[in-house]
Amino acid sequence: MHQASVGFHCPSCVGPVVVGQQRRRRFARRAAPTSLAFAHRDPIAIRVVIALNAAAFLYALSGGGSLAGSLGEVGVDFGLIGFGCKAVIGRMCVGPLGVDEGEWWRLVTSAFLHAGLLHIGFNMFLAWMLGNALERLQGPTRFLGLYTGSLAAGSLGVLLISPTALTVGASGAVFGLMGATVVHQYRRGINPWSSGIGTLVVVNLLFTFGRPGISIGGHLGGLLGGAALAWLVDTADARGLPRRVGTAMTYAFALTCFAGGIWASANWHDPLLG
């Protein structure tokens, strides 16, 4: 069993990504399905998310982790893995662990653990930059659904591609926020390349595929999940459905991805074909 952090990000590439404050270039085929401004002016949910990540990081430090990247026993107990062993003696697995062993909480807790100060610093910086704008647009309840759905999609991606690698980090959820921002801007006639979010996504994907020890499944799963959720809620709003319908979609999507992650963990030997 080996440990792979979900990844790092480039803060200098963020640029101006705040939805509703960009220079707009009309290139989309239709106008925005909803207003760019939401009644909630003071984002609370993203602050709670960041506080939970910070608390988990301090907890890992108190349990033997380090600022340089080691998570200690906390990572072993709460990181995401489909199936693994604390030790292997001969051909015998000693201390089997993972989602396949009934430890379903790993699908969630892993996204609040980080391998070092740089890891959590970059993730939380991007989470704030993107989440602050998205929560102002969608409101706290729907934003939490979007974040949770992205997190769940990232966990599913990990268990589909690398189910036996111990994986931690909020990058799957953060990639989901990037994907959601791209979709929201596109559907409102804002060119993602002009706003900077398109470049941010490309740079992060280059890091994903170009550096070892980064979870490709977590990043791609989160990115696609967040984009899909943003498209779903925008479509629901554009069709005049009650807001609670679009909001419920985000949580239903999250539950579906969590269920898919449990299935993938049970097929850890060959999750795509098993």
Domain of 241: which CATH number? 1.20.1540.10
- pLDDT given at position 5: 43
183 found inside a domain: yes
| pLDDT confidence of residue 268 | 67
Catalogue the active-site residues.
171, 219
C-alpha span between 185 and 36 (Å, rounded): 9
Assigned domain for 164 exists: yes
Which pLDDT does position 12 carry in this prediction? 30
Q: At what angle do helices 216-238 and 140-161 cross, to 10 degrees?
A: 140
List the beta bridge partners of residue 3.
166
Secondary structure letter of residue 2 according to DSSP: -
Burial of 216 (0-12, 13-18, 19+ CB in 10 A): middle
Instruction: Please tell me the predicted confidence (pLDDT) of residue 210.
Output: 93
Instruction: State which amino acid sits at residue 169.
Output: G
Tell whether 65 is covered by a domain.
yes
Q: What is the pLDDT of residue 135?
A: 97
pLDDT at 118: 94
Residue 47 sits in which domain range? 38-266
Closest CA to 78 of 198, 167, 12: 167
For residue 269, what pLDDT is reported?
64
How many domains, the chain?
Answer: 1
Is residue 32 domain-resident?
no
Residue 271 inside a domain? The answer is: no
pLDDT of residue 151: 98
Q: Do the domain assignments include residue 185?
A: yes
Report pLDDT for 37.
Answer: 44
Note whether residue 85 is domain-resident.
yes
Distance CA 222, CA 172 (A): 4
> Alpha-carbon distance 160 to 224, whole Å?
14
Please give the full DSSP string across 157-218, using - where no structure is assigned.
Answer: HHHHH-TTSEEE-SHHHHHHHHHHHHHHHHHTT--HHHHSHHHHHHHHHHHHHHSTT--HHH
The rounded distance, in Å, linking the Cα atoms of 170 and 127 is 9
pLDDT tens string, the chain, 274 residues long: the values are 444 444 333 333 233 333 333 333 333 334 444 444 444 568 999 999 999 999 999 999 998 888 988 888 999 999 999 998 888 887 788 888 999 999 999 999 999 999 999 999 999 999 999 999 999 999 999 999 999 999 999 999 999 999 999 999 999 999 999 999 999 999 999 999 999 999 999 999 999 999 988 999 999 999 999 999 999 999 999 999 999 999 999 999 999 999 999 999 988 665 555 5
List Cα–Cα distances, 108 to 50, 53, 148, 153, in angstroms: 15, 12, 9, 11
E strand residue ranges, the chain: 3-5, 84-89, 92-97, 166-168
